[in-house]
Amino acid sequence: MVSEEGLPISTLKWTYEVDGSDFTRAGEASSNVKKNLRKLGVSPEVIRKVSIALYEGEINMVIHADGGHIDVEVSPDKITMVLADTGKGIADIDKAMQEGWSTAPDEVRSLGFGAGMGLPNMKKYSDEMRIESTVGVGTTVYMTVYTGG
Amino acid sequence: MTPIAFAEKYGLKVVSQGAGDCRDIGGAYCSDLLSLVMGRAKADDALVTVMANINTIAVAVLADVSCVILCEDIHFDENCVKKAQDQEVCVLESSEPSFQVAIKLARELGLC
């Protein structure tokens, strides 16, 4: 059975706009997703993986891209997250994936971020991750966490 | 041992009770770099830190730690405390350095 949008009836979809101007508000989307997944009875370990991966993505969007757009889709066997921004893009994705490599400003580092752990953490906590990025156009990160359901 | 029981035993100040009396401290992680905390702290760890900004609370929620223990007499501002209370994060404060707090946690966790 499918809905009018063509999605399986058991698929839920949430979208969020990430405000790029306020670093202290980063995390609102991931907190909301966490709350919703808890209500759905998703296992704590899966919730933790999704929350951490998504939060790191939000932080990256605020630091590097002046915000962006997040789509989260929950289906019976997996949770997929698409984080799209129109920021400056990533020139060298392999380098950006290395722990400790960062272009974050000092101001962000003084708040405990910008240590070059964001993308590695996203990869660590998602089961699948893919990055599409064009310099000067933006970046889209696709992440999937399997629920085992 | 719950975070609240830990606070009572060692004289830490409870700034936000949160879920601190209904879950146990399962381990401990010490760091002031929130990026590391996100990647390496385990669920139910006590997060021992001196990093007192609103993102510390967000990280505590998302990494699902059992409590945040702020050391060296450093305090969260009102806004952070309110967020911790809203999100049911247990926050304790200690006048001691992280290392001393970590020793006490290690003792209670049977690690030394």
CATH of the domain at A28: 3.30.565.10
Q: Return the H-helix or E-strand segment holding B82.
A: helix B78-86
Asked if the model's pLDDT at residue A5 lies above 60, the reply is no
Helices (H) and strands (E) in chain A, counts: 5, 5
pLDDT at B104 (0 to 100): 98
- Using the Cβ of B77 and the Cβ atoms of chain A, whether some distance falls under 8 Å is answered with no
Domain range enclosing A26: 12-146
Domain range enclosing B88: 3-108
Q: How many domains does chain B have?
A: 1
- Using the Cβ of A51 and the Cβ atoms of chain B, whether some distance falls under 8 Å is answered with yes
pLDDT digits (tens, 9 = 90+) for B22-32: 999 999 999 99
The pLDDT confidence band at residue B16, using thresholds 50, 70 and 90, is very high
Q: How many domains does chain A have?
A: 1
How many angstroms separate the CA of residue A120 from the nearest CA in chain B?
A: 8
Asked if the model's pLDDT at residue A73 lies above 70, the reply is yes
- A76's tokens: 């019976």
A3 domain residue, yes or no: no
pLDDT at A21 (0 to 100): 81
A7 domain residue, yes or no: no
Q: What are phi and psi of B20, to 5 degrees?
A: -65, -15
- Interface contact flag, A52 B63, Cβ < 8 Å: yes
In chain A, the percentage of residues whose pLDDT exceeds 90 is 79
Asked if the model's pLDDT at residue A71 lies above 70, the reply is yes
A70 domain residue, yes or no: yes
Using CA atoms, how far apart are residues A118 and B25, in angstroms rounded to an integer?
Answer: 26
pLDDT at A120 (0 to 100): 95
pLDDT at A18 (0 to 100): 94
- Interface contact flag, A27 B87, Cβ < 8 Å: no
A28 domain residue, yes or no: yes
Partners of A114 on chain B (C-beta within 8 Å) are 35
- Using the Cβ of A118 and the Cβ atoms of chain B, whether some distance falls under 8 Å is answered with yes
pLDDT at A10 (0 to 100): 72
